[in-house]
Structure 1
Amino acid sequence: MGVPAFYRWLAEKYPLVVADVIEEEPVVIDGVKIPVDTSKPNPNGLEYDNLYLDMNGIIHPCFHPEDRPAPTTFDEVFQCMFDYIDRLFVMVRPRKLLYMAIDGVAPRAKMNQQRSRRFRASKDAADSAAEEERLRQEFEREGRKLPPKSDSQVFDSNVITPGTEFMAVLSIALQYYIHLRLNNDPGWEKIKVILSDANVPGEGEHKIMSYVRLQRNLPGYDPNTRHCLYGLDADLIMLALATHEVHFSILREVVFTPGQQDKCFLCGQPGHLAANCEGKAKRKAGEFDEKGDEVVVPKKPYQFLHIWTLREYLDYEFRIPNPPFEIDLECIVDDFIFMCFFVGNDFLPHMPTLEIREGAINLLMAVYKKEFRALGGYLTDGSKPSLRRVEHFIQAVGSYEDRIFQKRARLHQRHAERIKREKAQARRGDDVEPLAQPDSLVPVSRFHGSRLASGPSPSPYQQSECVGRLDNGKGTSGRPHKVPRLSSGATIGAAIVEAENSFETDPQENKEEFKAKLKELLRDKSDAFNSDNPEEDKVKLGEPGWKERYYEEKFNAKTPEEREETRKDVVLRYTEGLCWVMHYYYEGVCSWQWFYPYHYAPFASDLKDLDQFNISFELGHPFKPFNQLLGVFPSASSHALPEHYRKLMTDPNSPISDFYPTDFEVDMNGKRYSWQGIAKLPFIDEARLLDEVKKIEHTLTEEEARRNSIMADMLFVLLSHPLSASIYTLDEHCKQLKIKERVEVKERLNPELSDGMNGYISPCAGDPHPPVFRSPVASMEDIMGNQVLCAIYKLPDAHKHVTRPPAGVIFPKKCNWRI
């Protein structure tokens, strides 16, 4: 599910679901930064009990940030993450629990998407490196100096995958951070902290949801617990709805604002229009101005998305005139979640019929309301879809397919023609300068080497600093540059020389232009409209025969018999996928091994005879971390694996070398940019992979074996916390046991001592209370006189998820609005 598309749809259709976050900033007194006191009431008027962090939404922005210079060491990444978590903590101020969840080994259904992303990332990195080297040589030929390339630990973002050395060090860094804050921050004093690192199987957000679901309806659980979940994925909204916890908020960066498009066309920056442009290059955090002061870039704003308001909107939206029975909002919520699976999720390919940007969710809701009486009931019952009703519903949606495809083809044709016109105008130079210039801007000549090309001379009586473009004859970034101040006696030629000299001797400014130019070149290269040999659309959705052509082109089914056989199997596997995803959202993994074995989805109108399928799943076991790395990594990322595992990926004679193609087809599938296309990679044969791994697993060192193992969540509290006595007592009882025996021991938590949290604790393998905690980050100090205790935390015993708000919940006051 595309995050910007879904979030935009939701925020525009239901505007009151989002609320801007009020942030308190640290105060600086005599040059000393005084941190925000998070023990004080939350300025947003909400007091949250639990804050859950989907750490992927923190690791990636710190690993390759957009608003600051890229880090070159793991330590820089960790420090950025500490600052990031601090900021989120200040916004939310949880009073009972902070749960930090890093992605562990994923179900096989997700691994196919991970494999596609990582192969694409590797291919894009290779293309980028080649383009960067070509552009660097071009700059050098023109005498424009660039800072030398520096070595970096963070050159491959694929290392953000369970089992790598980076993820192992990250776990230690976060344990250090937790100890640091618990020992020193008054806002952390009374909370419990759970760290679920990459050695705990499961995706981060689903580990969080398992925790929430399994706490509900147990003794001591507060039905009015206030939850806040931070993360960047759109499916977090669906997962939060699926918990049926009323007091739930999603925290995330603002994806868009209504005025976001109002940017200056000269410098591309928001906040002013061209008439007020000063021609200043965009600055990033970590850079310095002429006075040597660090540039402060405005922080990205954040929003809360309140689930209770969304539930209220859905209650209003799904009013059915003269319903055949009394409508149950909780069942409506479950059906809404299920319907949204058709517009995209991480486990099934996108159904060609439905696009969020084309109003697909509105269509699904309209069809649902229209067909509700004929359905005879809800589409789902908790985690189980009613396949007979699902078929009726999706067939009704499929009746619109011809019109959808015909309209899409018309719009695509118009869009393509408009883009071609704009590109042709750009090549002719029609839009090099605006037709009308505001008085405050003076058109200045473009430069071809040192030769004046065109344009009037700026008058000394007009403003002294004006905006122009530098063009060396081999392309221009279009980035504005300041032209030196002209005195009344100055000549244009002198100004040209002065500008060129200033430009050539500033490697840092050249670097910024270099980066901007590289980004522009890579984007242009990925744009299908720039291709000399654009991919032919052989399917032609909307034209007669589109379905037959689709199965022939996408599934290589040539004859009518092959097409029908393929269609039936695709529909069966897709229906399995719908059942698997629904179970995953409501009960957790029902099969670690199941996956959808095709690159493409069926059409809505293909989903027939669904109630004839006998669908069942076998739970199985998650992959070990190194096995997942073998399953999702391209050979270019083999450096992150132990030596013998590397050879399986890089040796041409490896029995599984076919899993690691260096080049692969990307089907644009009607999309404009290459990253939107479908990477047609071979699916991993699990049996072959595991057979080869068995032969080399004995070669692992002790440290590698630890990285390749399955572990459990860690629980941290201060010595002053009521739980500390239970942890100390348990550790004392198990001191004489061996490490393997200690892990098997578990003691049920008393919810009266744990703020209502249920589950089990086990003694940790090492010292639960080290007096000194050594810093893994070179620039940060060791923690002396440590007051933090650690234990292993295990979830409560599995029980069925009750898809209703718990007894005793107090519903929030309804909003004063009308749709």
Structure 2
Amino acid sequence: MNQQRARRFKSAKAAKEAELEESIMRERFRAQGKEVLPRDDAPREVSDPNIITPGTEFMEKLSAALEYYVRARLSSHPRWKDVKVILSDANVPGEGEHKIMSFIRAQRSMESYDPNTRHCLYGLDADLIMLALASHKVHFSILREDVLRQNHQPDICVPVTDKSFTAQELPKVKCRGWFPRITEARSKGKLPKKPYQFLNIWVLREYLELEMTIPGCKHDIDRLIDDFIFICFLTGNDFIPHIPSLEIHEYAVDLLIDVYKTMYKKMGGYIVDTDKIKDKHAAYVKISRLEKFLHELSLHEEKIFLKRYELREKLLRKIQRQAAEDEWNERNYEIVEESADVLEQECISVCTDDKPDVTENTLELKRDLKDNLRSKQDLFKNGSSKHDRIRLGLPGWKSRFYKEKFGAETSNEIGRLQTEMVQKYLEGLCWVLRYYFSDVPSWSWYYPFYYAPFASDLKHLSQFKISFTVDKPLRPFDQLMAVLPPESSCALPKCYSKLMACEESTIQMFYPSDLAIDTHGKRFLWQGVAKLPFIDVKLLLSATQTVEKDLALHEMRRNTIRQEKILLRNSSSLANNAAFAPISEKKILISTSEITGWLSQDEDAPSNGLFRSPIRDLPDITHDQTISAMFFNPEAVKPISRLLDNVIVPDKAVTESDIRTRPMWHTYPGPRPPTVTCRPDTLWKGSSPAMQPREEVKNAGTGWMGRGRGGFGAATTETQQIRRNGFWRGRGDAAGGSDGRGFQGGWFDGGADGGAYSFRPGGGWTGRGSAVQKQQQTAWRPVGTWARGGGRGGSGQPRAW
């Protein structure tokens, strides 16, 4: 809950800052005589993303729309005739992926369950991978959008061909919508298809078995997977922060696996025993073994901090040098641009009498706004990074940390703080493990600190007794009060929203007007820690209970906790069950190879075959052939953390030659250690034969410095950036390659050998110095490392594009 709260407060703060930045830029464009599309401040249904939270009116409408869609498909589509749908809307407590996994675990524990049932889960959340592994099912796939490929697809720009209308006749668009939204033109365009990918759990299990096998030890792959999931909790999740020395981008998972394999024999075996997952005192975690593992992990802590500190200082020095160079270049640009602007105005007056292109100006505003907002996120480049007073890794770093973050100065204060943090963090590890493998041990538990303890602080763990208070989840409006910022108070009933702002309110301190964000040690603003007051649930409930009586009837309905609903076609064999009869009032157990659970009557089900459409302009379902009932999972049972009998395991697809290794991040002298395959004659990962050398291509004049990157010819796409006014500034060494980096730095300043010119439609070439129209040249060389050093590489041989 506190994680959700922090995200929503940060989102509201970012939106407010973006609104301010947009207003400033619009005023700047107006002063420059650039007409842009007006902002549309009309209220929109999803103008505030924070309304996508249980209990809001939007989520109530979404629930009704989902049921309408399911009933329409079941009633009319032939491919849905045997489909059974369980609808678990926002008023059913729990996160969506965890509700799905609870259903799968419960079904899997039933005798009637088919062990070869296949499951596919859609979503981008990395937690889905861990949850799928925790199910111990091989026939499990995760459907994901291929974000990397999707981000590299070219943007579709919709031109406005008819310039006869005025700006007032153009559709109003909110800048961060984004542009343009011109119905006539957009209807003719084609949206790019989203690329998808499957992550097959049975393949991932094979990789983990090869990665985590300890030589000379018998192993149980399912228990190794359980331990892998558990130790990965140390890298952070939605419930506990990551240990400070563990960052995913620093290959923390590699380190965890390496330490685990090193300590397996010394620990005495596995850390986790999920057969005891229901134990009230968390016996499912072997505390003594965990402590040995953490001690070994802590030996790497200072080395990680020291390398991180050195890389940070090196990067800051580099950015400062670049900033100084850019400032010098800016002064030179000013003189040249004054001359270029005169020539440009002459070209405009001679070549065209068209009105100012409002759409182009608006698109320019959009680009500039996005660039400005992105620049403000980079604390290193915009100079907002504060002096590092803690200096993790240098002598005395731990004392400085506790003094800076908590105000603890004496050794006794630090000791008491460490003890409390360690106990709560250990509770958090046990809480998350049970949540992933069984159920919610306590709805009210939370980790009450902004930061995790250091690995070296996680010791003497056996002194702590772990237990959780069994309680009930919050009702929707109480949850909204716990997570929404004041800027989103419109999503609440008025009687509740007043509690956020009223000075007499006993919970007003939970809603600060300004959000403090700790960005120490972070490069980007979004990485900062939101320092919000933690919610006192008892105090919150005592305040909301005083206003419940003021709720309207429809609001009372929104504030109820509901049950899942199962829907199926009335011709289904399961439909003959007595639980679907209108007169049924008791729960009835059903048990088939497809589904097991308890059913009871759905009091909201239509009785005359008519289901009213909750969506304007969509028709009612006049011949509803769907029946529904309330669905209850079987009673809580112990999860089965192994493969079921009679499961058909797919043929192995991974061999030792597919495993890639690399040095530990903190032991390698550079920022990123190279990846090496186990088989020296194979260039790439996989079982394919060694690949033939290919041509590596890089554009001349776009940065031949050591920090530039080439890309393989087959994977390289030239993406030129075009600008109507002026030149692309910056350093050309930001040229992109197979790693997907675009020409963000722009063309290299100066001589402009091959291609450093500015495109101008209809006005001829304008520019400075030698930036005239030339044939673009490309330098090439066989696969290898591009030479480091200052300056650009030779222009090479010409290539046609």
Q: State the TM bucket, normalised to the shorter chain.
A: 0.7 to 0.9
- Structure 1 counterpart of 2:617: 779
Counterpart secondary structure, 1:733:
coil
Aligned partners of 2:54 and 2:476 also within 8 Å:
yes
- Structure 1 counterpart of 2:94: 202
- Structure 1 counterpart of 2:347: 495
In terms of mean alpha carbon deviation, does 375-384 or 774-783 score higher?
774-783
1:314 paired to 2:196 = no
- Structure 2 counterpart of 1:333: 225
> Could you report, residue by residue, the CA deviation over 1:329-378 in whole angstroms, capped at 9, with x for unpaired residues?
11000000011111121101121111111111111111111111101010
- Structure 1 counterpart of 2:190: 296
Whole-angstrom CA distance in 1 between matches of 2:559 and 2:187: 46
Whole-angstrom CA distance in 1 between matches of 2:423 and 2:332: 55
- Structure 1 counterpart of 2:644: 806
Aligned partners of 1:716 and 1:791 also within 8 Å:
yes
> Could you report, residue by residue, the CA deviation over 1:374-424 in whole angstroms, capped at 9, with x for unpaired residues?
010101001421111011001101001111111111111222222333333
- Structure 2 counterpart of 1:667: 518
- Distance 1:691-1:498 versus aligned 2 partners, 3 A rule: farther
| CA drift at 1:806 | 1.3
- Structure 1 counterpart of 2:436: 585
Aligned partners of 2:302 and 2:393 also within 8 Å:
yes
| CA drift at 1:532 | 4.7
- Distance 1:541-1:732 versus aligned 2 partners, 3 A rule: same
The within-5 A match list for 1:508-587 is 508-532=359-383, 534-587=385-438
Whole-angstrom CA distance in 2 between matches of 1:218 and 1:193: 19
The letter of the residue matching 1:301 is: P
Whole-angstrom CA distance in 2 between matches of 1:500 and 1:303: 48
Counterpart secondary structure, 1:688:
helix
Aligned partners of 2:375 and 2:382 also within 8 Å:
no
- Structure 2 counterpart of 1:685: 536
| TM-score, normalising length: structure 1 | 0.73
- Alignment equivalent of 2:589, drawn from 741, 748, 755: 748
> Could you report, residue by residue, the CA deviation over 1:687-714 in whole angstroms, capped at 9, with x for unpaired residues?
1111111111111111111111100011
1:414 paired to 2:414 = no
The letter of the residue matching 1:559 is: T
Aligned partners of 1:284 and 1:295 also within 8 Å:
no
The within-5 A match list for 1:228-239 is 228-239=120-131
- Distance 1:499-1:117 versus aligned 2 partners, 3 A rule: farther
1:372 paired to 2:264 = yes
- Structure 1 counterpart of 2:358: 507
Aligned partners of 1:716 and 1:788 also within 8 Å:
yes
| CA drift at 1:319 | 1.9
Counterpart secondary structure, 2:573:
coil
- State percent identity of aligned pairs: 44
1:763 paired to 2:601 = yes
- Structure 2 counterpart of 1:148: 38
- Structure 2 counterpart of 1:793: 631
- Structure 1 counterpart of 2:13: 123
- Distance 1:501-1:149 versus aligned 2 partners, 3 A rule: farther
- Structure 2 counterpart of 1:461: none
Whole-angstrom CA distance in 2 between matches of 1:217 and 1:367: 34
Whole-angstrom CA distance in 2 between matches of 1:797 and 1:680: 40
1:246 paired to 2:96 = no
| CA drift at 1:495 | 2.6
The within-5 A match list for 1:456-475 is none
- Distance 1:612-1:500 versus aligned 2 partners, 3 A rule: farther
- Distance 1:191-1:560 versus aligned 2 partners, 3 A rule: same
Aligned partners of 1:717 and 1:790 also within 8 Å:
yes
- Structure 2 counterpart of 1:594: 445
- Structure 2 counterpart of 1:452: 340
| CA drift at 1:530 | 4.3
Whole-angstrom CA distance in 1 between matches of 2:550 and 2:102: 35
- Distance 1:497-1:342 versus aligned 2 partners, 3 A rule: farther
The within-5 A match list for 1:82-481 is 111-150=1-40, 151=42, 152-257=44-149, 294-323=188-217, 326-382=218-274, 383=277, 384-429=284-329, 452-453=340-341
- Distance 1:254-1:787 versus aligned 2 partners, 3 A rule: same
Aligned partners of 1:768 and 1:791 also within 8 Å:
no
- Distance 1:682-1:285 versus aligned 2 partners, 3 A rule: closer
RMSD (Å), alpha carbons: 2.6
Whole-angstrom CA distance in 1 between matches of 2:378 and 2:225: 39
Aligned partners of 2:82 and 2:569 also within 8 Å:
yes
Whole-angstrom CA distance in 2 between matches of 1:195 and 1:396: 46
- Distance 1:533-1:296 versus aligned 2 partners, 3 A rule: closer
In terms of mean alpha carbon deviation, does 785-794 or 190-199 score higher?
785-794
Aligned partners of 2:502 and 2:508 also within 8 Å:
yes
Aligned partners of 2:271 and 2:289 also within 8 Å:
yes
| CA drift at 1:285 | 10
Structure 1, unaligned stretches of length 5 or more? 1-110, 270-282, 434-444, 458-491, 735-741
| TM-score, normalising length: structure 2 | 0.75
The letter of the residue matching 2:349 is: V
> Could you report, residue by residue, the CA deviation over 1:615-664 in whole angstroms, capped at 9, with x for unpaired residues?
01111110111111111111111111111111100112211111100112
The letter of the residue matching 2:26 is: R
The letter of the residue matching 1:814 is: K
Whole-angstrom CA distance in 2 between matches of 1:494 and 1:120: 48
Whole-angstrom CA distance in 1 between matches of 2:610 and 2:457: 63
- Distance 1:603-1:493 versus aligned 2 partners, 3 A rule: closer
Aligned partners of 1:217 and 1:806 also within 8 Å:
no
- Distance 1:569-1:721 versus aligned 2 partners, 3 A rule: same
- Distance 1:493-1:679 versus aligned 2 partners, 3 A rule: closer
Aligned length: 627
Counterpart secondary structure, 2:214:
coil
The letter of the residue matching 1:131 is: E
Aligned partners of 1:730 and 1:762 also within 8 Å:
yes
Aligned partners of 1:288 and 1:294 also within 8 Å:
no
Whole-angstrom CA distance in 1 between matches of 2:129 and 2:186: 44
- Distance 1:494-1:599 versus aligned 2 partners, 3 A rule: same
- Structure 2 counterpart of 1:440: none
- Distance 1:214-1:550 versus aligned 2 partners, 3 A rule: same
The letter of the residue matching 1:635 is: P
- Distance 1:293-1:653 versus aligned 2 partners, 3 A rule: closer
